[in-house]
Structure 1
Amino acid sequence: MKRSIISGVESVARGLGRLEPPQLLAYLVIAFLAWRIVGHGLSALLAPHDPRAALTFDSADPTILLQLAQRELTPGADARVAKGRSIAARLLAIDPLAPGALSLYGKAVEQLGDAERAERILRLAAAHLPIDLVAHGWLYENALANARLLEALDELDTLLRARPSLAHRLAPSLQAMLGAGAAVEDRFFRQLAAAPPWRAAMLAELAPVIENPNVLLRLFGRLQTSKTRPSDMEMGLLLARLLRDGLYDEAYAAWLAHLPPERLGALGLLYNERFQYPVSNLPFDWTFTPTSGASIALTEEGERKTLTVEFYGARVSFSNVTHMLMLAPGRYAFTGAAAADDLDNELGLRWRIYCAADPSQTLAATRLLKKTVPLRAFRVEFAVPSQGCDAQWLKLEIPVRIATDADVSGGARYVNLAVESLASAPRSSNSAGAIVHDRK
C-alpha cells in the first residue's frame, strides 16, 4: 500500500516535471481557485452553526468575524467583551470598510467602560455607513438618555428609513418625546411633511397608543395644509383613534378638512349617497370591508351606480358595508331601492341604523331581504334621541343569532340610498322606534 502511494506521487511529480512553466502555472492557479471555492463553500455551510470552525476554511470572512464579535459582546463579561473587541479589530485590519465592524468595535469599547471613546467611534461609524443600525441605534438611545430630543428625532428618521419595521419598537419612545413640547412636535411634523417611507408605518403604531390625541389632531391639521397631505389610509388611522375615544365631533371636523373643497357644498345627510365619488373606506364615507365568502362591488348602469353584494354559499357573519352618520336629534327617513337574486339565507339581509356609542340601541331596521325580489323602493323612518347618540352607524348586515344563520348564497342590489330630515315632526328623547314602509 505504502509503495503504491509513493509510486503514485512519483508518477504525478514526473508528470508535472514534464510540463512547461506556463502550463504548470495554469495548473497551480486552477488548484488554488478550486481550494478557495471549496473552502468558501465549507465556510458558508459551517458559519450558522460553528463560526469558529468556519474560520478554518476562510479566516478572513467578514460575515463570520462579525458573528463571532457579536457573540462575545455579553454585558458583564469583560473577558468575552475584550475578545469581541479583538475580533472586531482583526476584521477592521482585514477590511477597514467592512459594514458593521467599526460599530461593533465601538460597542465593545463602551462595554469595557470607555464611554467617551466609544461615542467618538460610534459617531464615526454612523457617518461612514448611514444604514449602520448598531451605530445609529446607539446614537438614538444616547440622545434620548441625555435629553437631546431633536438629535434623537434625526436618528429615528435614519433608523426608520433603513428599516421601517422598527416603527413598533420606536413608537413608545417617540410618544414620550412628543409630550416634551412644541419644538419636538414641530420637528416631527417637518419629518412627516417630507413624506418619508416610514410615515404610514409609524402613524399606524403611534395613533392607537398616544396618550394625548390632540397631538395627532395638530399634526394632521398641519399636514392637511402641506404639500404631502395625508392619504386616505393615514386619515383612517386618525379617525379610528378619535372614534375609539368617542370624539365624534373632532373626527368629523378632521374628515371634513380632508375632503376636496369642491365637495363641501353638497355633503348631505348621507355623504356619497349615490356613490358619485370613489369610495374612500373612511368612516364618514362608505366602508367596504373585504370578507371571505362574499364580494362587495359597485356596478354601473348608465349614470346610476348599484351596490352589489354576492355570496358564495359559505358561512359569513356579514356586516361589511357601513357608513357613519352625524345626525342631530330629530326625525329622519332612510330610503332606497333593493332587489334580491336567489338570496338563500335563514333570516335575510337588512340595513340597520344604531347609535355609535351603544350598538344595542337600534334606531331603525329595514325589512329582511331574501329569496328573489325585483327592485322595489323601501322607506324606514326613525328618530335620533337627544342624549347619548352624537353619531350613528348605518350598516348592511345579516342579523346572525346562531351559527347556521350565517349560511348564505345568492346576491342583493341597492340603489338610490338617501337619508332625509323630517324636521317638522315632533320627537322626544325616547322616540326611537322605527316605522317601515315598502313601496311595491
Structure 2
Amino acid sequence: MKRKHHRKRLRSALFAPVRSLVVSHISSHPKRSVISITAGLILVWLVVSKSLPYALATSAPDTALALNPNNPVALVAKAEDIREQLLVLTGGAGSGESQGDTASKGDTIAHLPEAEDAGIQQPGSERDALRRKIGRLAVRALANDPLNAKAYRLLAETTDDPDLVRILMREAVKRSRHETVAQFWLLNDSAYQKDFGSALDHADILLRTRPDLSPYVFAYLTAIAEDPAGFSLVVQELAEGPGWRPAFFVALPRSAKQTDTPLKLMTALRGSARPIVSSEIAPYLNALIAKNLIDAAYNAWLQFLPKDELDTLGLLTHANFERDPSGLAFDWQIGRGVNAISEFVPVGPEGERALHVAFGTGRVKFPEVRQTVLLPPGRYRLEGKLRGWITAIRGLRWQLTCASGSRRVLGETDMLIGRSQQWRVFALEADVPQTEECRGQILRFFHDSRSASEELISGEAWVAGLRLERIPDPSAVMQ
C-alpha cells in the first residue's frame, strides 16, 4: 500500500503543472484545443512512463520503478545495488568497488559463504533475503526484456543448482561478450572442469574486453599451460598472435610455478606461423638473471640464437657491433637517455661498425650500453679503440661487475675523456672469482658521474674493435 501511495504522489506531482496548463488552455480555446491537448497528454504520459524511467534507471532506480514498475533497466540496476550490499555483508567486496572490481577477484553471489562464517550474528537470514530479492528482480527484468544479459547473470548468482547456474551464465555471455562476471565465472568453472578449450575462449574474450583483468586471467592461462592436457591448446592460442600475447610473456615468469614453463612455450612456438621474438624472450631471461640463475638464462638464450651466430660465438656477443642490439641480456642492451644518444653505425668502407655516442649541451642522462656475460673464474682482458672528443668533469668508462649481489666491480678502464682524432686503445683487466654472486657478469659502458653537477658533458665519440680474452695463468703455463 505504501508503494502504491508513493507512486500516486509522484505522478500527481509530475502532472500537476500539466493539469494546470491544460485547464487554462481549454478555458480560453474550448473547441480548437481538444485534439492538440489530448495528443500532448499522450506524449507527456509516454515520456513520464517510458522515456523518463530509462533516463533515471541507473542513477535513481527506485524513482524509475515508481514511474514504471516493469522497466527492465531499472530492475537490473536495483538488483545490482542489492548485490553490492550482499557482497559487503559477506565480506566479498569492499564498499565502493565496481562490478568489474569484484569480478577481478572472482566475487560472485552464486555461492557466497554462510553468514556465520563472515561473523554475522543471524546465520544466513539476511543473506538469503537479499538473494531472494535479487532473484525476483532478475525474473521480472527477463519477463520484460528476454535478451537482458545482466538479468541472466544475476539470476544465475541467486540459483543454488550448479548445473542451472552454468546454463544461466552461458545464456548471459551469449547475449553480451561484455558480461564480465559471467565470463570470469565460466573461465573458472571451465578450468576446474578441465574443459580447457572453453576456458581459453572465455580468457580470450576477457583479455580483449577487460585488459585490466589480465593479471588474473594470465594466472589461469599459465595453470592451463602447466597441465599436460592444456599445454598444446595454449600453444595453439598463442600461435594465432592475439593482441595480448606480448603482455602474457611479460607476466608469465612471475605466474609460472615451474621455472621452465616459459621456455617450453617459447620453444613450441619456434616453428609456428608467428614464432617467438626477442621482446617476448627478454622477460624470461631477465627473471632468471634476477634469481641468479645465470646458467639457465644463458642456455635458454642459446636455444634461440641463429646457427650462424652460434658458430661464431665468443666470450662477447657482437664485439664489433656488427648487428643492431636485440635487447636480450646476453646481447647488447641500450638504456634510455636524456639529451644523449648511443647507437651502432658504420664507420668505414669495409663494413666496419662502431658504437657512436653523442651529447647535447647541458646536463645529460647517458644511455648506458651493457651486456651480460658468462665468464668462468679466471683473469680477463678487455681491449678496444676510441676516437672523438669528450668534454666533461668526469668521462666515460667501461666496467666489468658481478651480475648479482652488491654488483662488485671486477675491473674498469681509465676515464675516457679529451680529444683524439686518431683511434686510441683502451683496456681493462679483471679477475672473475668463483663465488655465487659472480656466476655471471655485466660489462657496461657508462658516464661515471657522481652528482648532478657532474652530469654536464658534451662532444661525441666512436668505440670499435672490442676484444675480450682470457689471460692464461702463468703458473699453469709453467707446469
Matching residue within 45, 49, 53 for 2:63: 53
Task: Write the mapping of 1:320-331 to structure 2, written as runs, cut at 5 A.
Answer: 320-331=368-379
Matching residue within 257, 260, 263 for 1:211: 257
Residue 11 (1) aligns with residue 11 (2): no
TM-score of the aligned structures, taking structure 2 as reference length: 0.72
2: CA distance between counterparts of 1:173 and 1:281?
29
Q: Percent identity?
A: 26
2: CA distance between counterparts of 1:288 and 1:353?
16
Provide closer, same or farther for how the CA distance between residues 36 and 231 of structure 1 changes in structure 2, counting only shifts above 3 A.
Answer: farther
Q: Deviations over 1:77-116 (max 9, x none)?
A: 222222222322233233322343322221222xxx3333
Matching residue within 331, 337, 359 for 1:310: 359
Match of 2:139 in 1: 89
Secondary structure, counterpart of 1:296 in structure 2: strand
Offset at 1:237? 1.2
Match of 2:120 in 1: none
Q: Deviations over 1:97-147 (max 9, x none)?
A: 2343322221222xxx33332222223333454453222211222344556
Offset at 1:29? 8.4
Residue identity in the other structure for 2:280: E
Residue identity in the other structure for 2:141: L
What RMSD in Å do the two structures reach over aligned CA positions?
Answer: 3.8
2: CA distance between counterparts of 1:189 and 1:81?
41
Instruction: Count the aligned residue pairs.
Output: 413
The structure whose residues are more often strand, as a share, is 1
Provide closer, same or farther for how the CA distance between residues 381 and 80 of structure 1 changes in structure 2, counting only shifts above 3 A.
Answer: same
Assess if the C-alpha contact under 8 Å between 2:152 and 2:172 holds in 1.
Answer: yes
Offset at 1:13? 5.2
TM-score of the aligned structures, taking structure 1 as reference length: 0.78
Matching residue within 74, 78, 89 for 1:68: 78
Assess if the C-alpha contact under 8 Å between 1:334 and 1:419 holds in 2.
Answer: yes
1: CA distance between counterparts of 2:145 and 2:218?
36
Assess if the C-alpha contact under 8 Å between 1:167 and 1:205 holds in 2.
Answer: no
Secondary structure, counterpart of 1:278 in structure 2: coil
User: Unaligned 5+ residue runs, structure 1?
Assistant: 429-440
Secondary structure, counterpart of 1:224 in structure 2: coil
1: CA distance between counterparts of 2:21 and 2:428?
106
Residue identity in the other structure for 1:207: P
2: CA distance between counterparts of 1:427 and 1:13?
124
Secondary structure, counterpart of 2:267 in structure 1: helix
Q: Deviations over 1:281-313 (max 9, x none)?
A: 111121122244544344455544442243553
2: CA distance between counterparts of 1:367 and 1:347?
11
Secondary structure, counterpart of 2:327 in structure 1: coil
2: CA distance between counterparts of 1:149 and 1:53?
45
1: CA distance between counterparts of 2:475 and 2:363?
43
1: CA distance between counterparts of 2:420 and 2:152?
74
Offset at 1:3? 11
2: CA distance between counterparts of 1:13 and 1:254?
93
Q: Deviations over 1:233-270 (max 9, x none)?
A: 11111111221222222222222222333433333433
Residue identity in the other structure for 1:122: M
Match of 1:418 in 2: 466
Residue identity in the other structure for 2:357: T
2: CA distance between counterparts of 1:204 and 1:12?
76
Secondary structure, counterpart of 1:183 in structure 2: coil
Residue 365 (1) aligns with residue 415 (2): no
Judge which range, 331-340 or 83-92, deviates more: 331-340
1: CA distance between counterparts of 2:29 and 2:301?
85
Provide closer, same or farther for how the CA distance between residues 377 and 119 of structure 1 changes in structure 2, counting only shifts above 3 A.
Answer: same
Task: Write the mapping of 1:230-249 to structure 2, written as runs, cut at 5 A.
Answer: 230-249=276-295
